[in-house]
A and B are shown apart, each in its own frame.
Chain A
Amino acid sequence: MSAAALLEIADVVTAYGRIEALKGVSLNVAAGTITCLLGPNGAGKTTLMLTVAGILRPKRGAIRFDGASIAGWLPDRVVARGVALVPENRLVFAQMSVRDNLLAGAYLRKDREAIFTDLERMYQRFPRLRERAQQHAGTLSGGEQQMLAVARALMSRPRLLLMDEPSLGLAPLVVGDIFRIIAGLKAEGTTVFLVEQNARVALDVADRFYLMEQGRVSFQGTPGELAQDEVIRRAYLGSVRRPHSA
């Protein structure tokens, strides 16, 4: 729909064995925006992220990033093309130093000097990471680990940053920090596509949102279009009212 869609997903089906977790998902992420994917647990949000990142291979459908058809590409090609995923639960390398985590993020890059310039930029942006550069990442707090996971992904210089549940398990104050970082990334021109359970915070920064239920996009819009409470209700509970949900 948007003329400047950086990521276009059309009718994507991804299955675990015979069970289709994505049953034909279509959505667009416009360049320079924050797009948010909401939905209850088990809707297929993480599956979609892993499919775009190349970890899972879609059974059908098209994924286009910046003009290239990336469906079925292996992760290294996807990363090299400019897509990075900050995974659910952050998955920092716990036994490695903060610095080595960041350098691992630049694994595919060959421009040695620019890598160290970027490392310095990450330290400037996240001073806590500089303080803890030599510490094992496993010793960081949840919020610091999330910052590290974001910084690690940024070390590959992505044009599209995918984020899976960045606020998961973080204190409200820290969640605020993380979303300020996300807003900052957008200001710098990085396109962000994020999955989030915390709909209230996500809708504050999102330009556009999609609602996923049972492997399909059930609703989409801009945060202003619909009463926020209605979106949130559906994001948490699904659109079908269950007998016991309030």
Chain B
Amino acid sequence: MIDAVQNTLDGLMIGSSYALLALGFTLTFGVMRRLNLAYGATIMAGVYLGTWLFLEQDAGVATAGIAAVGGAILAGLYVERVCFAPLSERAALASMVSSFAIWMQLEEAAMLALPRHTYPFPALVSGEPLALGPLALRLEHLLMLGSAVAIGAGLYFVLQRTRFGRALRAITDNALAARLLGMGVGAMRMRAFALAAAVGGIAGLLIATTDQQVTPMLGMWATIKGLVAMMLGGLGSLRGAVAGGLLLGVVETHAQWYFGPQVRDLVAFLLLFACLAVRPSGLFGARGGGRHPPAGAAHG
């Protein structure tokens, strides 16, 4: 019983980082209706920048952390400029494939800068786990959960209460109507990318500091976790992204406890399969598929 509670708590805390990854994915997917496969790679690029500064340039932990987030934002904007801005909304496949190419490019660049398979990443917090009766909570996990909650709340505020957030939601909801009100879809897309990359960069930073190591696989790992969590929750739904991330974290932790670490990802994909079979739109997705009228083509 204690084990089950402990696993659930650990799962929620790990899941909070998945939720952040899924939130970033959802922000850009909602605005563009196109899949950005390089999302994880932009996060990895940021984390690698931070690691490189820390290891090779003797930067402090704080500088490395800020550089990780800043680097992810820059990499995200690079992806937007190269893969999404020049291609039409209707060329979804072309954008996806080019984002795959940039993923590979960023991964190669990271491996050129830091060629070993793994590098240490500094811990942001250190200390004994917090004891809560029979339960133990790792400080890194608490930091992860706390940051995720704070970022989630911040995002909610930005999206619900600000002019920028309203415009972002409007474009996600109906791009043509948004353009008719004078919203610049191109500029908004760049800002959405920067915001998503910042959220992803923080998630990557939290994950790297929890694992205390980085590998070039972080990119693929983040893309898969974010994608699975987003699809579990329902494409385009921010609430769904949070719920999907937490669910994925809890299920993975339980699976690992009962069946071993090899089974962990297997169970995650099984969960996704079951979800898509029973409820293809995800937990919070629009039922019967979304209705997305064309965004109007010619210019703008």
Residues of B within 8 A of A103 (CB): 163, 166
Pairs across A and B, CB under 8 Å, 5 listed: A74-B299, A79-B181, A93-B169, A107-B170, A107-B181
Chain B residues near A96: list those with CB within 8 A.
Answer: 166, 169-170, 173
Complex Cα distance, B293 from A152, in Å, reads 19
Q: Let me know if A177 is at the binding interface, CB within 8 A.
A: no
| B151-187 interface code vs A (CB 8 A; 1 in, 0 out) | 0000000000001001101101110111111111000
In chain A, positions 148-201 with a C-beta closer than 8 Å to chain B are: 152-153, 156
B interface residue numbers (CB < 8 A to A): 163, 166-167, 169-170, 172-174, 176-184, 293, 296-300
Select one of B167, B184, B298, B299 contacting A104, CB under 8 A: B167
Q: A76-B184, A80-B182 are in contact. Are A93 and B300 (CB under 8 A)?
A: no
A50 within 8 A of B: yes
Q: Which residues of A contact B (CB under 8 A)?
A: 16, 50, 53-57, 74-76, 78-80, 84-85, 87, 89, 91-96, 100, 103-105, 107-108, 152-153, 156
Closest chain-B Cβ to A85's Cβ sits at a distance in Å of: 5
A residues less than 8 Å from B299 (CB atoms): 56-57, 74
A93 and B179 within 8 A (CB): no
Expressed in whole angstroms, the minimum distance between the Cβ of B148 and any Cβ of chain A is 23
* Contact residue among B173, B297, B300 (Cβ-Cβ distance under 8 Å from A94): B173
A84–B182 Cα distance when bound, in Å, is 9
Question: Which residues of the partner chain B approach A16 to less than 8 Å between Cβ atoms?
Answer: 297
The smallest C-beta distance from B17 to any residue of chain A, in angstroms, reads: 26
A87 and B180 contact, CB distance less than 8 A: yes
Q: Which residues of A contact B297 (CB under 8 A)?
A: 16, 56
Q: In the complex, A216→B298 CA distance in Å?
A: 21
B residues within 8 A CB of A89? 293
Interface centre among A75, A80, A153 (most CB of B within 10 A): A75
Contact indicator B174/A91 (Cβ below 8 Å): yes
